[in-house]
Structure 1
Amino acid sequence: MYVILVYDMNTKRVGKMLKLCRKYLNWIQNSVFEGELTKVQLENLKAEAKEIMKEGDSLILFKNREQYWLQKEVIGEEKSSIDNFL
């Protein structure tokens, strides 16, 4: 499934969450990631994220079956493009 993940963490935990998200997804912009995950990978990501998170932190997941069902438009400078694979 195609996943867009957005998080808001206390500054003490941002580094840990960033590292975790990069393990599973592609970095797009500050605290925003996207990519294809299996159900098992998604469950592992959520379980590991819950171990990092404390009160006041949040993680939002947008899920879709396929990326082609999602239209993406970037206005301004794209922070990290994943469309430039060789």
Structure 2
Amino acid sequence: MRPRTRQIRRRPLTVRQALLAYTSGSAAAELREHDKGTLESGKLADVAVLSQDIFSVVPSALADTKSLLTVVRGRIVHDQLAAPSLP
């Protein structure tokens, strides 16, 4: 007789769940939620400005999202918003 196995129902994460896992969830895993993981005064923050509102687009359009500006440790490391420099 075959042993009974419990089936796990798999459901995809919502965009909100994925963002929280990546931000505050990662900070909690490092035991650093007191100084990072959410945008609050006095906390460390790496920030990305995205090309579209990831909470309102259809899931199939999420892959089209681009980073327009990325700030890491207070320094701009990627900037598509800046005016192109002249030669």
Query: Aligning the two structures, in what range does the TM-score lie when normalised by the shorter sequence?
Result: under 0.3
Higher alpha-carbon Rg = 2
- TM value normalised by structure 2: 0.24
* TM-score relative to the length of structure 1: 0.24
Higher relative contact order (CA 8 A, sep 6+): 1
| Structure richer in strand, relative to its length | 1
More helix by share: 1
